[in-house]
Amino acid sequence: MLFNSFTFLVFLCTVLPVYYSLSRKAQNAFLLVASYIFYGFWDWRFLSLIFLSTVVDFFVAQRIQASDSPRDRKFLLAASLGVNLGVLCFYKYFDFFAKSLAAILAPLGLDPPAPVLHIILPVGISFYTFQTLGYTLDVYRGRQKATRNFNDYALYVSYFPQLVAGPIERAGHLLPQIMKNRTVTRQAFYSGLSLMVLGYFKKVGLADSVAPFVDHCFQAPWNRSALELYFGACLFSVQIYCDFSGYSDIARGVSRLFGIELMVNFRAPYFAADIRDFWRRWHISLSTWFRDYVYFPLGGNRQGEARTIRNLMATMLLCGLWHGPAWTFVIWGGLHGALLAGRRLLDRLVPGPGKALLPPFLGRIATFHMVTLAWVFFRADNLAKAGQYLQGLLIPAAGKLTPSGPLLPMILFFLLYMGAMILLDGRTTKTGGETLYPEASPAWKRGMALALMMAMLLILGETHEKPFLYFQF
């Protein structure tokens, strides 16, 4: 069930009135059923995987909290990691590793030990697996108390506004809201609707509108000019950001209608002055998850410069692999690891703590282009196409010198959508990522902003429903 579908709007309009008429306990039970219906709409068979993860971590966390034996606690944690990561790896990575092994063995005349099974990837499995693992790890570390209410915990795992593409919520933030009585004020209701409109505008008005230009460049990069490839890569930067941050805004807006606040997942990432700042602003729920549950346990920056760089690279390679079973994602993660490590080494060249290598404006331009180059691997269908794209982009003589199509519309779209994105991010940065205008702003300003976005949706939007890009992860 896509957020940008008529089916979802009917679903939401059906669920909300019933929800408002119930008590807190009944609300949670009803939301749990609604969440299972929402997820089952994709493929009801995969509900068993969510339920398995829920049951395992609910009881494992209780046993960990009740145990005083370090050995038993470690065994229980290993059981949780084994079940959750085992299911994730089988469904998401079995075919990837089977194909990779076959490619290595084929030149040697050997047959692969495991066949390719063509496994269907359950939507959202990467997100809810990390969410439930974070809960168990927090209980193990003593940062979170295990809940004894199964329905509340099941709702925490399967809460439909953020189930299939995040944000990846921490138990310490989401569970207390699920367990307490909730009221939805008129102000919260209208601000939730405003966030939804903002998200739909980013997704349908911006991301989906630039998609044809991006597809034009990435489908046949060997047949495109350097200028086409440059603007195609820049437009993909716009597309991926508006698509995913648009989803997050819709998720936060829908959740606010139920009286539950989800975390802000993006804070104007293309305003970042360096690559570290970018990862403080981009997909915050994922970057902080890898920081807290991978980078810090590896040793973080506490074991010398060489091990810090090793930990950065390992974390970002895993982050790349998390995004998908393809070497393009692994290289994308490795590039970001190298950029983060390089930024750390360059710090030694800048005297004094907290000094920037470049003025903020130049730093933002440089960071945007570094991120955009890395996005080429993220978007390309395979390594060969990524290589062809970069070759045509960075070595113009290797590709076409003249555009294969009208270049002016692409440039105008780039300037228009970059301007719209910067304007939106500039406004939401001033309000802490909440909305374009806070509730204290004059009503005419808020009304004009919503009316303009709705008009642009009608002008630029398509009747064809396009899935969100991050659904594939």
Q: What is the mean predicted confidence (pLDDT) over 391-414?
A: 70
The pTM for the full model equals 0.89
Interval 47-101: pLDDT, tens: 999 999 999 999 999 999 999 999 999 999 999 999 999 999 999 988 888 887 7
Residues of the chain with pLDDT > 70, as a percent, come to: 85
Q: What is the 3-state secondary structure (H, E, C) of the chain?
A: CCCCCHHHHHHHHHHHHHHHCCCHHHHHHHHHHHHHHHHHHHHHHHHHHHHHHHHHHHHHHHHHHHCCCHHHHHHHHHHHHHHHHHHHHHHHHHHHHHHHHHHHHHHHCCCCCCCCCCCCCCCCHHHHHHHHHHHHHHHHHCCCCCCCCHHHHHHHHHCHHHCCCCCCCCHHHHHHHHHCCCCCCHHHHHHHHHHHHHHHHHHHHHHHHHHHHHHHHHHCHHHCEHHHHHHHHHHHHHHHHHHHHHHHHHHHHHHHHCCCCCCCCCCCHHHCCCHHHHHHHCCHHHHHHHHHHHHHHHCCCCCCHHHHHHHHHHHHHHHHHHHCCCHHHHHHHHHHHHHHHHHHHHHHHCCCCCCCCCCHHHHHHHHHHHHHHHHHHHHCCCHHHHHHHHHHHHCHHHCECCCCCCHHHHHHHHHHHHHHHHHHHHHHHHCCCCCCCCCCCCHHHHHHHHHHHHHHHHHHCCCCCCCCHHHHC
**What is the per-residue pLDDT for 354?**
55
**What is the per-residue pLDDT for 293?**
96
Interval 233-289: pLDDT, tens: 999 999 999 999 999 999 999 999 999 999 999 998 998 999 999 999 999 999 999
Q: Is 323 in the active site?
A: yes
Q: What is the mean predicted confidence (pLDDT) over 148-163?
A: 95
Residue 427 pLDDT greater than 80, yes or no: no
**Catalytic option among 216, 323, 336, 464:** 323
**What is the per-residue pLDDT for 398?**
55
Q: What is the mean predicted confidence (pLDDT) over 1-29?
A: 90
